[in-house]
């Protein structure tokens, strides 16, 4: 998302806990500096800011930097924190480690609330902007149990936040919504399947649903399209997917395909088209 906003010419503040000097508890090798450089290479301006979104003081410091360096101008707020994969256990709540479950809530939910509380005043003051709450699954998934309580609570709550914000922000000319990718081919997911972006189709042998997967750039193009749309208020308060916005804006993934993961899962995984051809949803 940061890179595609950069490709659209944006200045992007890339925040997170993993820098070239220190890793977060997640342990991934990608850093905020790496991403900021990719933003600049794409045509924008990437600015890496080490920020733990669980710490209000860190987010306040970020707000002060935007005040000083951009005269307080913040056009797009992509609220996308999670950092709890290693904390989730696919067990009933009474068997789930309580400390890990509560930490997952803090990592995945409190971070969103802290960020909104601290940064929304920058948008409200200008009476313009876009807020995108990144979640996992649209309303179709929110009507179904995600397999474990703590994970489900976080993702449903974030989707709900994207909707509730409409009530608080609409009068200020700010568009807010919840947005989900489909089956995301993130770096971590590629590692999980033991493939690269070039060989990702080899992972289909382990999980047939990987055939509907998409790169992170796909949802990034959706965010960039929203940011550039003067009529984006039409989406305010909705729960959307990258595939839905790709159809509307005529976007494609890097390989030229147009994955519709939400429709695929609605009609095949949850529906009665069990033998549907994945190609019909790309």
Q: How far apart are CA 223 and CA 7, in angstroms?
A: 12
Nearest residue to 254 via CA among 215, 281, 280:
215
Average pLDDT of the segment spanning 19-29: 94
Q: What is the mean pLDDT of the chain?
A: 95
Q: How far apart are CA 141 and CA 145, in angstroms?
A: 8
What global pTM score does this model have?
A: 0.94
Per cent of the chain over pLDDT 70 is 100
Query: What pLDDT, on a 0 to 100 scale, did the predictor assign at position 239?
Result: 95
Nearest residue to 187 via CA among 15, 78, 28, 42:
28
Write down the CATH number for the domain with range 2-192+213-259: 3.40.50.720
Per cent of the chain over pLDDT 90 is 89
Average pLDDT of the segment spanning 211-226: 98
Task: Say if CB 85 and CB 103 are below 8 A apart.
Answer: no
- For 173-204, what is each residue's pLDDT tens digit? 999 999 999 999 999 999 999 999 999 999 99
Average pLDDT of the segment spanning 3-17: 98
Average pLDDT of the segment spanning 97-101: 98
């Amino acid at each position: 998302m940061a890179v595609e906003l950069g490709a659209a010419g944006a200045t992007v503040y890339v925040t997170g806990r993993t820098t070239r000097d220190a890793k977060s508890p997640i342990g991934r090798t990608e850093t905020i500096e790496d991403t900021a450089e990719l933003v600049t290479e794409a045509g924008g301006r990437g600015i890496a800011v080490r920020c733990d979104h669980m710490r209000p003081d860190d987010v306040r410091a970020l707000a002060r930097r935007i005040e000083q360096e951009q005269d307080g101008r913040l056009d797009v707020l992509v609220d996308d924190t999670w950092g709890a994969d290693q904390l989730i256990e696919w067990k009933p709540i009474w068997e789930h480690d309580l400390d890990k479950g509560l930490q997952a809530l803090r990592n995945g939910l409190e971070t969103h609330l802290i960020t909104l509380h601290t940064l929304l005043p920058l948008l409200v003051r200008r009476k313009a902007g876009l807020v995108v709450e990144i979640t996992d699954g649209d309303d179709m998934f929110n009507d179904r149990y995600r397999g474990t309580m703590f994970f489900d609570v976080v993702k449903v709550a974030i989707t709900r936040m994207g909707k509730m914000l409409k009530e608080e922000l609409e009068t200020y000319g700010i568009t807010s919504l919840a947005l989900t990718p489909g089956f995301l081919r993130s770096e971590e997911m590629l590692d999980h399947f033991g493939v690269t972006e070039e060989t990702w189709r080899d992972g289909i042998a382990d999980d047939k649903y990987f055939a509907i997967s998409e790169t992170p750039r796909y949802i990034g193009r959706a965010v960039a399209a929203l940011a550039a749309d003067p009529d984006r208020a039409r989406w305010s308060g909705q729960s959307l997917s990258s595939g839905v916005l790709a159809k509307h804006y005529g976007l494609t993934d890097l390989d030229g395909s147009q994955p519709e993961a939400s429709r695929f899962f609605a009609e095949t995984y949850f529906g009665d088209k069990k033998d549907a051809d994945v190609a019909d949803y790309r």
